[in-house]
Amino acid sequence: MSEVYEKVLPHIYDGKANRLYEVKDHPDLLIIERKDDVTAGNGAKHGTIQDKGFYNNKISNCLFQMLDNADINVATHFVQEISDRETLIQKVEPIKLEVVVRNIATGSICKRLPFADGEEFKNPVFEIYYKDDAWGDPLVNDVEAIELGVLHNVDEYEDIFVAACEINAVLKEFFQSIGIILVDFKIEFGRTAQGCLVVIDEISPDTCRLWDAETRKKLDKDRFRQDLGDEAGAYREVYRRVCEQK
C-alpha cells in the first residue's frame, strides 16, 4: 500500500506561486502546493491564471523527472507527485540565487545590453541574480555571491554553471522535439546536508520563455506580463505537449 503523506498546517512558506508545508513524521521532506496566483515586476502586477497550479505541477514534475533520468551531474528535489497540485519534495537548504540561462536575447538583457530582441546567442548566456525581493533581485557575479555568503566558494559557482549548462542542453533538445523553442529560463538550486547540489522550485511556463517553433507564439508568463491574453490556453498547450510526449 502506498504511504499517505500528511501536510502539517499551517504552511511554513507562502510564496508568489507556491506554498510549502512540512510533512508529518518526515522531517526530511516537504510538500509544495502550486497556486493559480501570478505576479510580475517583483509583485507589482497580480492576477490568476485558471488551473495554472495544475499545469505547472504536472509540467515541472515531468521536466524534473526527465532531468533526474538524464545523464547529468545534478539531481532535482522531486520525490513524488501526490495530487494534481501537490508534490512531495526533498527538504534542502535553498541557495539565494536565481540562475538564468538564455539561448535567445529577449527580456531584461535587451534593456541592459545592445542585443536585438529575438537574436540567437552563439553560446548560451549564463547569469546569476541575488534572490532578495527587498533588493529587487539584482544581477551579481561569482565574487559578489561568495562575499554575500550565498555561495561557499568558487567551486560551488562552477558546479552551478556546469549544471545549468547541462540542464539547458537537455531541456532545449526536449522542447525542440515538441515544437517549442526554449528561449531562456530561470532555475534555483539548494544543497543537501551532504553538500550536494539539487535543482529546486519549478521549471514551468512561469519560469521559462517558450515560443512555438512554427509561429513564435509566446507560450509562457510573458502573455501575462505583456497583457497578451489567453494565458491559460498557453499553459494548457505546454502541459499537453510536455506531459503527453514525455
- Note the residues at the interface with ligand TMP (CB under 6 A): 100, 107-109, 137, 184-186, 207-209
- Residue 227's closest CA among 81, 95, 38, 91? 38
CB of 185 to ligand TMP, least distance (A): 5
Whether 209 and 220 have beta carbons less than 8 Å apart is answered as yes
CB of 207 to ligand TMP, least distance (A): 4
C-alpha grid cell, residue 14: 507562502
- Residue 82 or 160: the one with the smaller Cβ distance to ligand TMP is 160
- Residue 86 or 184: the one with the smaller Cβ distance to ligand TMP is 184
User: Measuring CA to CA, how many Å separate 232 from each of 71, 89, 109, 229?
Assistant: 33, 26, 26, 9
Within 10 angstroms of residue 82's Cβ, the number of other Cβ atoms is 19
CB of 209 to ligand TMP, least distance (A): 4
Whether 33 and 21 have beta carbons less than 8 Å apart is answered as yes
- Residue 94 or 107: the one with the smaller Cβ distance to ligand TMP is 107
- Residue 89 or 100: the one with the smaller Cβ distance to ligand TMP is 100
Contacts of 240 (CB under 8 A, 6+ apart): none
Q: Which residue is nearest to ligand TMP (CB)?
A: 107
CB of 64 to ligand TMP, least distance (A): 16
